[in-house]
Every structure is written in structure tokens, then in C-alpha cells.
Copies of this chain bind each other. A is one copy, B any other.
Amino acid sequence: MATPTASTPSPATGKQTPDATVKWQHRHVIDSSKLSYTDVQEILNTAKTFADILSRPVKKVPTLRGKVIVNMFYENSTRTRTSFELAGRYLSADISNFSIATSSVKKGESIIDTAETLAAMGVDAVVIRHSSSGICQQLANHFGNRLGIINAGDGWHDHPTQGLLDLYSILEKRSCIKGKKIVIVGDITHSRVARSNIAILNLFGADVHVAAPSTLLPVDIEQLGCKAHTQIEPALEGADIVMCLRLQLERQKAGLIPSLSEYNKFYTINKERLQRHCKPDTIIMHPGPMNRGVEIASDVADDKSTSLITNQVTSGVAIRMALLYLVLSTPVERGQ
């Protein structure tokens, strides 16, 4: 299990209130495993205050007026990009999109030079999605606290806002997740979503399991703080929460799964599997976009009594509002 940093209260104490004397002072959110228990509590509390804005007739507060954020998306993602974009707009920030297709990246400029250019234009924070694991940390090392940096998914490494929004969504339904059995099912190897969730759920004392065909399960995954299964039945047994992962369909071409129908036969989360193995009120989650009939059956996805999939999307906006607020409110003078 991942160890929270020494300065934060251990989830083992069950203490769920943040230490009021330790305050957020990060300009970067890059690595789920480096977030302390206190950090996460502060993010959750901030998100809670912002979530209300989403259901108002006028979805706009002036909190970040005159702050400038750029979405640097080197991989396509309407969902995450739009989530950050709307999060910024609800807080009255100026948020600009920067996509591969029209970028100087094509001209061979390094991402550090590109980000330096944005910083010199007055940009306060960048939100980065990139196919290279570790690129956000590399930028953070270069910039120190001169530029806010939020990781919106870097390679297979991490996707901290996903882990945070998943935690937030669960805590809206369950008062405590300590000891709860949470099973992540699907392509664990290539999943930054899985890595982010393992780190953050462990911080809150969950009993995290992962299940995947052996070709999609890294050998040393248990070192991250989870129990690994190559068969789905023991993984689902007594589960409180099931998280499906999106199966990148190109994995089949790479020979990592024999066929979609075989995957469907052994791993798809459907009503029958849930009823046979999980707790009666098991929560179902999916980071989206879904391949219906591949990793999740449609009736499971659409059952509002157990599926949190829509809630996850809404939580995502609230969490991103919280992070933009916290990162942009951290004084630049202090270190990360």
C-alpha cells in the first residue's frame, strides 16, 4: 500500500478532517502518489463548495477573473479538455485551447520552450495531456513555482484528476471507504486511470483489487498497493465498488487480447456477474468514453441506482474547479 507522507495523518487513524494548520501550497498537481491525505481532503472540501455552482441557473463566479489557463492537449480528448475548459469558465478564468493540429510542436519546438512562451504571454497555469509518461514532472522541474501545472494524463503514468474525481464520486454515496473492496477491471497495464486510483484509494484505506487478462496486467502491479487477479470472479467476490476501464480497441490488433468476444465473455461487467459475486448495492464506475458491450454491458452502465458514470463527469468538473482554484491561489513566491 502506498505510504502517505509522514506529515499527514494516516488513513489508518480514520481521521477524516483535514489538519487546519497545514494549507495547500502546491503550484503543480502531477502525481497522485505524491498527494498527501491532507492535500486530498482540501481538494475534496474545495470541490464540494464549487459543486453547487454547477446546478445554479447562473453558473459563474468571479473567483478566477483575470487568470489565464491554457489547455495543452497533445492527445485528443474532448471529455477532459471540455471538463477543464468549463471548470475554468465557471470560475471566470480565461481558458484557451491549444491542440496538436495547430501547434508549433509540429515545428519541432520542445514542450519546455512552448510552455516558456505561454508563461511569457502571462499564462498562469497549463493543463497538460501528453503521451509521454513523466513529461509534466519534467516541466515542473524546469519551471518551479513560476507556472501552475496540472497533469491531465501523461502516458501510462498518471491522471490525478481522474483518481480524485472517482474518490469524490464515491464519497458522495458512501460516508467512508476505509476497508471497502474496490475492484478495477480491464487493461491495467496501459491505464493511468488505474494508477491514479490505486494511489488515491489507498490513501483512504480502501482494499484495492485489480483484474485483467495476464497480457494486460503488469507483473509488479501489487507493489503499488493492490491485489492482482487474472480471473474476474475472485476479484468481484464481495466487491463494494467496481471500476471498469476503457479497453483501447487497438490493443487487440497488438495481440494483447485474443478477440473482443473472448474479452466480452470473460471480463465484461454485466448484470449476471454483478449479481452472482458482488454486494447487492455495488457501485459501478467508468471513466468514459465507454465501449458498450466490451468492458461494460449497457444495462449496467444505464442503471441509475448503481451506476455512478454520470456523477463522475459532474464530479470531474467540481474537482477541476477546485484544483484550478488551489493552484492559482498559491502564491508564486513559495516553493512547490
Contacts and interface: CB of A to CB of B under 8 A. Distances in A.
Interface in A312-333: 313-314, 316-317
Contacts of A288: 104, 109, 113, 117
Contacts of A78: 98, 102-105, 114
A82 B70 contact: yes
B310 A120 contact: yes
Contacts of A110: 292
B85 A96 contact: yes
Interface string A39-51: 0000000000000
Contacts of A65: 58, 60
Contacts of A313: 116-117, 120-121
A32 to B, nearest CB: 22
Nearest to A105: B78
Contacts of A66: 56-60
A85 B123 CA distance: 12
Contacts of A289: 104, 107-109, 113-114, 117
A188 interface: no
B104 A77 contact: yes
A290 interface: yes
A73 interface: yes
Interface in A105-132: 105-110, 113-114, 116-118, 120-123
Given A121-B314, A313-B121, A59 B68 contact: yes
Contacts of A86: 68, 94, 96, 121-123
A113 B293 CA distance: 14
Contacts of A55: 122
Given A106-B76, A118-B82, A59 B67 contact: yes
Interface string A281-308: 0000000111110000000000000000
Chain B CB within 10 Å, residue with most, of A76, A102, A114: A102
Contacts of A101: 76, 99, 101-102
A212 to B, nearest CB: 20
A139 interface: no
Contacts of A249: 108
12 contacts: A54-B121, A56-B66, A59-B94, A60-B94, A68-B86, A78-B103, A83-B121, A101-B101, A101-B102, A110-B292, A113-B289, A122-B317
Given A85-B96, A108-B249, 11 more contacts: A58-B66, A59-B66, A60-B66, A78-B98, A78-B104, A81-B102, A82-B121, A101-B101, A108-B291, A113-B290, A116-B313
Interface of A: 54-60, 65-68, 70, 73, 76-79, 81-83, 85-86, 89-90, 94, 96, 98-99, 101-110, 113-114, 116-118, 120-123, 249, 288-292, 310-311, 313-314, 316-317
- Which 9 pairs, one residue from A and one from B, show the smallest C-beta to C-beta distance? A58-B66, A120-B313, A109-B289, A60-B66, A54-B122, A104-B289, A78-B103, A120-B310, A89-B94
